Amino acid sequence: MWTWFYRLASPPYVYRVAALWLPWLLGGALLTIGYGLIDGLVFAPPDYQQGDAFRIIYVHAPSAWLSLFAYVTMAVAGGIGLIWRIKIGHAVAAASAPIGASFTLAALVTGSLWGRPMWGTYWAWDPRLTSELILLFLYVGVMALRSAFDDPNRGDRAAALLAVVGVVNVPIIHFSVVWWNSLHQGATVAKLGKPQMPGSMLWPLLAMLLGFMLFYGAVLCIRLRGEVLNRERQSAWVREAIKS
Amino acid sequence: MTTGGFWAMGGYARFVWPCFAFVGAVLAWNLWSARSSAAAARSRVRRALVMAAHDQS
């Protein structure tokens, strides 16, 4: 029953499968992001309140979603590495961190640029904005902690522990607009049963969300192959893979 | 919509286009950075192989 799980934990298998998935993920990302951009920028109507400034959502929401998804991936992979001592878990966590950090920064910058015309300010110490900023600090902390140790195994364990503890921030970010008074608007896409947007605005957003997820998968595959090579460079299979 | 109207974004161009440019740069950086770190890992392994072969000879 657990054969697939143990196979996933095998570095040579992951190295090979990541190479197989990469062109499909990257191709899918290019297609869906291309469609989302054209539909969102050209064909979606302007919002009745926000005008064309609402189009920022097509890059802001996927970046924000990815910032959370990459963190949860990092924490779960780190947790697997910590609990079951599966090396590939730490490799996935290390590969996910810089991607998530960059999209957290993108979510903060695009949110700030959207906030200026809508709220009259680039930044407010709002619960959603502040918790997203804490997420960026957590990413930076996890990456810094991993590289602070001479022994990479200790660095992996310390970074995984911080990532697992920091995952408590993810529901705080998500529910901050419900729990506290927030300038930030509530959920629009998550309410699948009762969408808050018309289809002409929603479809490009869903395409961008899917495109960013596929892009994350593609970049994760590239980074993961590098991580696996770094960590397994003494192994015979790595020498064979590089020679061929 | 005219081309001029498209680029003007209803008067919000100075907020909309920098957002798309920044996220485009983030996407490009991710690809470049991932590829260069994977290439660096490959060249480290190759160097180690060359050194190991040199030590044996």
State residue A92's pLDDT score: 96
What is the rounded CA–CA span in Å between residue A197 and residue A229? Answer: 45
User: Residue A116 is nearest to which of B15, B37, B39, comparing CB atoms?
Assistant: B15
DSSP state, residue A39:
I
- 3-state DSSP percent of chain A in helix, strand and coil, to 5: 80, 0, 20
State residue A149's pLDDT score: 92
**pLDDT tens digits, residue range A117-143?**
998 999 989 889 999 999 999 999 999
Determine which of B37, B49, B51 to mutate to test the interface with A (most A C-beta atoms within 10 Å): B37
State residue A177's pLDDT score: 78
Q: What is the DSSP string of A161-201?
A: HHHHHHTTHHHHHHHHHHHS--SS---SSS-SSS-SS-HHH
**pLDDT tens digits, residue range B26-36?**
999 999 999 99
Long-range contacts of A173-178 (CB under 8 A, 24+ apart): A173/A68, A173/A128, A173/A131, A173/A132, A173/A135, A174/A68, A176/A127, A176/A128, A176/A131, A177/A127, A177/A128
Considering only residues A177 and A30, tell me which one the structure prediction assigns the higher pLDDT. Answer: A30
* Residue A214: count of CB within 10 angstroms of its CB: 20
State residue A14's pLDDT score: 93
State residue A217's pLDDT score: 98
State residue A192's pLDDT score: 54
User: Residue A226 is nearest to which of B22, B37, B48, comparing CB atoms?
Assistant: B37
Chain A CA closest to residue B45: A233
What is the rounded CA–CA span in Å between residue A225 and residue A232? Answer: 10
Judged on CB neighbours under 10 Å (0-12, 13-18, 19+), A234 is exposed
Question: What's the domain count of chain B?
Answer: 1
Pick A21-227's CATH classification: 2.30.30, 1.20.1070, 1.10.10, 1.20.120. Answer: 1.20.120
Nearest-5° angle of CA A27, CA B36, CA A34? Answer: 25
DSSP state, residue A43:
I
State residue A148's pLDDT score: 95
Judged on CB neighbours under 10 Å (0-12, 13-18, 19+), A100 is buried
* A63 contact residues in B (CB cutoff 8 A): 23, 26
**pLDDT tens digits, residue range A190-239?**
555 666 788 889 999 999 999 999 999 999 999 999 999 999 888 888 88
Residue with tokens 């140790």: A149
Closest to A136 (Cα-Cα) out of A73, A64, A208 = A64
Residue B11: give the domain boundaries: 3-56
State residue B5's pLDDT score: 85
State residue B51's pLDDT score: 85
State residue A178's pLDDT score: 79
What is the rounded CA–CA span in Å between residue A180 and residue A62? Answer: 23
ipTM for the whole complex: 0.92
Out of A114-118, A162-166, A181-185, B21-25, least confident range = A181-185
Residue A159 has pLDDT above 60, yes or no: yes
Pairwise CB contact (< 8 Å): B12 & A51: yes
Closest to A61 (Cα-Cα) out of A219, A223, A220, A184 = A184
Which amino acid is present at A83? I
**pLDDT tens digits, residue range A43-100?**
999 888 888 999 999 999 999 999 999 999 999 999 999 998 888 999 999 999 999 9
B31 contact A CB<8A: yes
The answer to whether residues A155 and A145 touch, using CB atoms and an 8 Å cutoff, is yes
Question: What is the sign of the dihedral through the CA atoms of B32, A17, A153 and A85?
Answer: positive
State residue A180's pLDDT score: 75
State residue A190's pLDDT score: 59
Mean pLDDT of chain A: 91
Determine which of B23, B37, B46 to mutate to test the interface with A (most A C-beta atoms within 10 Å): B23
**pLDDT tens digits, residue range A104-117?**
999 999 999 999 99
